[in-house]
Amino acid sequence: MNHAMTTTTLEIVGSRIVRNLGVVRGITVRSRSIFGTIGGSLQTLVGGNISLFTELCEKTRAEAFDMMVKHAEQVGANAVVGIRYDATEVMQGVTEMVCYGTAVVVQPA
């Protein structure tokens, strides 16, 4: 699926939704390594962007997004609208990241 066919809005400009295939999602659960925790803790002493955690968060979101897109393709969608992210701490240092949206079939308007 072309990533241009994914959006946080409820429509894709220039297209019309012809079929709603329901909610699709990608879920990943991540934990910090001991080295990442120590490195991140050291970066907090200096202040500013904590790049170790930023990189972990970005990789986690990208993984959940890619899983959601694959789920949408499996149900026959060519687009996903209304995309959202949610995170839950499962236990200390372990976080679940969910990316979800509505799988749709669109055609040019």
Residues 91-104: pLDDT tens digits? 877 889 999 999 99
Q: What is the pLDDT confidence band of residue 32, given thresholds at 50, 70 and 90? A: low
Strands 79-91 and 15-31: unpaired
Range list of β-strands (E), 2-78: 15-31
pLDDT digits (tens, 9 = 90+) for 56-105: 889 999 999 999 999 999 999 999 999 999 999 888 778 899 999 999 99
Domain boundaries, the chain: 3-108
With 70 as the cut, is the pLDDT of residue 38 above it? no
Selection from 7, 18, 24 nearest residue 107 by Cα? 18
Distance between CA atoms of 97 and 61, rounded to whole angstroms?
Answer: 7
Please provide residue 83's backbone torsions phi and psi, each rounded to the nearest 5 degrees. Answer: -70, 135
11: which 2 tokens? Answer: 């429509």
Distance between CA atoms of 80 and 69, rounded to whole angstroms?
Answer: 8
CATH of domain 3-108: 3.30.110.70
pLDDT at residue number 37? 54
Q: What is the mean pLDDT of residues 13-33?
A: 91
Q: What is the mean pLDDT of residues 3-27?
A: 96
